[in-house]
Structure 1
Amino acid sequence: MTTASTLTDRYVAEAVRSLTRGQRRDIEAELRASIADAIEDRLGAGTDAAAAEREVLTELGPPRSLAASYSDRPTHLIGPDLFSDYVRVLAVLLSTAVPLWFVFSGVVTFVAGSSPLDSLWSALWGSLETAMSLVFAVTLVFAIIERTPALRSRRTAKWDPHSLPVVPDQRGYVSELVGGVVFLVVIASVIIVLQSVGAVDGPAGTPIGPFDASLWESGVFSVALFYSAVSISFHVFAHYTGWSVANAVATIALDVLFVVPAVWIVAGDRLLNADYFAAIGWPNGVEVVGLIALAVVVLFPLLDTVDAIARTVRTRRVRPTADVSG
């Protein structure tokens, strides 16, 4: 085997390494034929064989980049088609959730008895963790869209003139996104403030909050907050990939995953601490607040499900019109 053949073999092997088994044979044959023809043209022009092959392989560029053009796999994390949307969503989330969490965390820590310096450090650290979590979640969502041809093609199709959303719709979605984040932060803030700052002395003389201590210590509220973040992220995902039947079904599944355990906790008197309401002189508070909580945990997922179905129906009605007018 000559040196020239060895260089070609090495180049082709590296180029087809990342391709699927079904693609390798055809692309390898096509690539070898293309390289051979290019080398032959240079040999006809009087170029040395070794130099001709080096020139051809150099012009082809790195084999992995060439392989990416064959496989249609993105070599970037988030491409230009989605990058502006990615930056816009990330900016909205970072400009709302992070400042709110900074103020909330600092105030709660200070009221709980920490020094101003410790409160500031806690607020900064919590804000950094929140920002990192948001960047990771949003980046993951858009990276998945970028690497899923079916989802990416749906997003690309929205740029057809007949299916471009009007400006008020986009603004409305941003308002919904901001509202969802603010609502999530407010609810989390109220829960933490009531359980910590709003605690009262219980029968044993120890501070108790309105929520059941075992439920609080088990991390159920952290799981609920994580679910809320996932739900918001999925709405971003559904908006930028197009509301489809699959996205609506996934939304309903997420709502059911929340409603079933939430109803089990609230209806089974596992949410509230009866001693707390007795201590503040409202013994019937468990029943009243429990009914309100039960209505909330059922109503909000139900509205979310109806909204997902309505968005999907509107999307399916608009697409045929766009096709006919095109």
Structure 2
Amino acid sequence: MSSLTDRYLAATLRAVPAPRRAEIADELRASIADMIDGRTDAGQDRETAEREVLTELGNPERLAARYADHRLQLIGPAYYLAWRRLLRLLLATVPIAIGALVAVLDAVDGDSVGSAIGVGVTTGIEVVVQVAFWVTLTFAVVERLSLPLHLPRWTVDQLPEDRPAGRGVPLADTAVSIAALVLLIAFLPWQHFRSWVRDDGGDHIPVLDPALWRFWLPALIALLVAEIVLQVARHRAGRWTWPLVGAKVTLDLAFAVPVAWLVLTDRLLNPEFVQRVDWLRDGANLDVVYTIALVAVVASLVRNTVAIAAQARRRAA
């Protein structure tokens, strides 16, 4: 287990420009040591002195902002971090959920798949604007009225476990990502040979159109294998570098575009499978399934691209 000082330094240095990290680390470590020594010389035990010194220094994000000369003033220093945390949480979930819901409802009402997706994307963008506006307005009013947020006071117990600034990809995260990719690869032949739907003779009916095995399914499997290699490369690099971001976005596009095209041209599902599943033949249910698939593909592509680009930018800052 790393010391509280090491964890505090790591949390601070993540938010300062990379060229200044070594200088700031030395300066801050020396200052903390001097303050701790001053307390221990006065008779205080070292562990208690360390906790009190770090608590007095305060939230490492605020300290990093001072070192980086980054002013937390969009809302104001007293409310900025709470505003940013809430806004990030809402923007990561609400627009996608509402946009997907609107797209599905439009498809159920009888609109075409393309029209439903367009409405869903437009709605999602509108929700982004509305969430950003109302959250910011609310915090601006709260600040002007000096209303207390009653947030819990920051303590050193909230520090994340130490992780080197340049290497931050846990082995467990990489293992989970690779396991999900392996399961997806395994599903493709499984659905062909072991589908849960059978014909009159008892033979399994593939879920996906068997004609896709001539090119598209092998190509998609190759892309998934390449994604596994990319995950291993990211783990070895310890972070998302810009070349890895470029490779990831390229692979995601190479996977998402064909899948979207197969959905839009009604070539993804096996027609015999659709005929055997009563629910898919009922009304617009097949369009709903295709709409959900398209929204999921597009949302995943956008979310992954934004997330890894943000991580790469933070690491390179």
TM over 0.5: no
User: Which has the larger share of helix?
Assistant: 1
- TM-score normalized by the length of structure 2: 0.41
Bigger CA radius of gyration: 1
The structure showing larger relative contact order (alpha-carbon pairs under 8 Å, at least 6 residues apart) is: 2
